[in-house]
Amino acid sequence: MSGSRAATGALLIVVAVVVGALTGCASPAPPPAAGPPSSTAPVSPVAGTTTTVAPRPAPLRILLTDDDGYSAGGIRAVRAALTRAGYDVSTVAPDGNRSGSGAETSGKQTLHNTDDPGVRTVTGTPADAVIAGLAALRAAGRPPDLVVSGTNLGRNTGSGITESGTVGAAVTAAHAGLPAIAVSTDRAEDESDCEPTAAFVVRLVGALATARPPFAPGLVLNVNHPVKQASGLAWLPAQEITLEGDRMKLDSPGDDNDGGLGRGRATIAELDADGKDGAPPSVRDRLAGFG
C-alpha cells in the first residue's frame, strides 16, 4: 500500500506542474473596453467639492371659495382637481348659495367646521369667507399664495361681473394684497359639467406656479370656460375694477362681448383690483401659447 501511495503522489505532482505551466503561458484576459459610465452607476463627488441638492419648493398654498356654497358641484370639482395636482388647498366658503352678493360683507365671519377637515364655512358672503379664511391661515402661519374663487355654475362676463359673488371674493382677496382667480363655467349645472373647467384651472395655475407669488398681488384673472373642453382661448380687454365701500364698480364697462365663450372658447380678462395707482404687471406674455 505504501508503494501505491508514493506513485499516486508523484503523479499528482506532475499534473500540478503541467497545469501551472499551461496557465502561465495563457494570455491574460483583456480589460473591458472604455465607454460611457452606466446611467445607474453612482457618481463620486470630485475631491474637495460638495454636492448640494436644492430643496424642493413647498406646494403652492391656495385658499378656495365660491358663491354657490361649499357643497356646490363647481367648487367640489376644482378642489378635487387642485388637490390631485399636489397643491395645498384650504376651502372656506359660504354655507349656502350666496349668488349675486358681489363684494358685500355681512360681518358673519365665524368659521364652522364640516365633516371634511379641509373645508370650513361661514354664514356670511363670499367676501366674508375670504376675509375669515385669510385671517385664519395667516394666524396659523400658513398664508395662501393664491386665492381661487369658483368655479361658478354659470358665466360671469361683461358689466354683470360687479354683481357676482365669485368675482367679488376674488376682488376682496386682491384688496388684501393677494393674486386671485375668479372662475366660472358657462351653462354648468353639476360637478361633472365643471370637470373640464377644473382641469383648465389646474393647467393655468401650473403655468404660473413657478413664481411666488404666482402673479402680481392685486391682479384678478376672470376666467370663463365652456361646459365642455374649450376649443381655444381668447383674452378680453383688461379692466380696472374698484370698490366703493363693498360695492364693485367697473371704471370702463366696455361692451358685453363674450369673446366666443358661447361658441366653446375659454376667456380670460385681467382685472386691476388692488385700488392703487398703476396697473399690476400683466401675465399675458407669461401665458403666450397657453390655451
DSSP H helical ranges for the chain: 2-25, 73-84, 126-139, 165-175, 191-208
pLDDT band of 257, cuts 50, 70, 90: confident
User: What is the pLDDT, as a whole number, of residue 14?
Assistant: 37
User: What is the pLDDT, as a whole number, of residue 4?
Assistant: 44
User: What is the pLDDT, as a whole number, of residue 52?
Assistant: 61
pLDDT digits (tens, 9 = 90+) for 94-128: 999 999 999 999 999 999 999 998 999 999 999 99
User: What is the pLDDT, as a whole number, of residue 220?
Assistant: 98
pLDDT digits (tens, 9 = 90+) for 203-239: 999 999 999 999 999 999 999 999 999 999 999 999 9
Domains, the chain, ranges and CATH? 61-272 (3.40.1210.10)
Judged against a pLDDT cut of 60, whether residue 46 lies above it is answered with no
Task: Look at 228 and 22; give whichever has higher pLDDT.
Answer: 228
User: What is the pLDDT, as a whole number, of residue 253?
Assistant: 66
Q: 209: which 3 cell numbers? A: 406656479
Determine the Cα–Cα distance for residues 160 and 256; give it in Å rounded to an integer. 9
Count Cβ atoms within 10 A of the Cβ of residue 277 and give its class: 0-12 exposed, 13-18 middle, 19 or more buried. exposed
How many CB atoms within 10 Å of residue 55? 6
pLDDT band of 57, cuts 50, 70, 90: confident
> Which residues are within 8 A (CB) of 201 and not within 5 positions of it... i.e. 6 or more apart?
78, 81, 82, 148, 151, 181, 183, 223
- Mean pLDDT lowest among 28-42, 145-159, 226-240: 28-42
Judged against a pLDDT cut of 90, whether residue 19 lies above it is answered with no
Q: Is 6 helix (H, G, I), strand (E, B) or coil?
A: helix
Judged against a pLDDT cut of 70, whether residue 278 lies above it is answered with yes
